[in-house]
Amino acid sequence: MWKFSDNYLFNDEQSLKEIKVLCEAGKQITKIDARSMYEMLVWPIKARRNSFNSVHASHSLIAPGYGIHHTVQDRVNKMVNKDLSLEFMMTSSSIHLSNALNATYFPFKEPNGFSDYYFANVMGTMLNFYKNCNARSDSFFY
């Protein structure tokens, strides 16, 4: 997570000032709430600050408290008209861990039909975006 914040394209004072303006303009085009857009764009920076809580708590089980799911779950909940907060929180640690290790996460499927594929896909896509959203990444611009 710290690596995301250090390398993140918008991790400088000037960019942070302009993100709010960008979100307000983007709201008109995308019809996405400006606050939600802002939360998605500043997540690596906020997560880094919040991650210090786990250092003080001395364990990694607090990771879901500052995970990427917080930035996407409200929007997804509104889209499906269902509260999926528990599902996002329960899968968050595994997704963050595999992403941090550059490992592949294989979603599971329970005999009763539940699968974490959707949650893993949403969070993994966002984490990969933040990981690759930096000035040195040619793939970000193409």
Boundaries of every domain in the chain: 2-141
Q: Given pLDDT bands bounded at 50, 70 and 90, which one contains residue 134?
A: low
Report d(CA 10, CA 23) in Å as an integer.
13
* pTM for the structure as a whole: 0.56
Please give the average per-residue pLDDT across 62-66, as a whole number: 58
Report d(CA 127, CA 74) in Å as an integer.
17
Return the exposure string of 18-47: e unless at least 16 CB atoms fall within 10 Å of the residue's CB, then b: ebeeebeebbeeeeeebebbbbbbbbbbeb
* pLDDT beyond 60 at 55: no
Please give the average per-residue pLDDT across 24-32, as a whole number: 86
* pLDDT beyond 60 at 138: no
Report d(CA 81, CA 77) in Å as an integer.
6
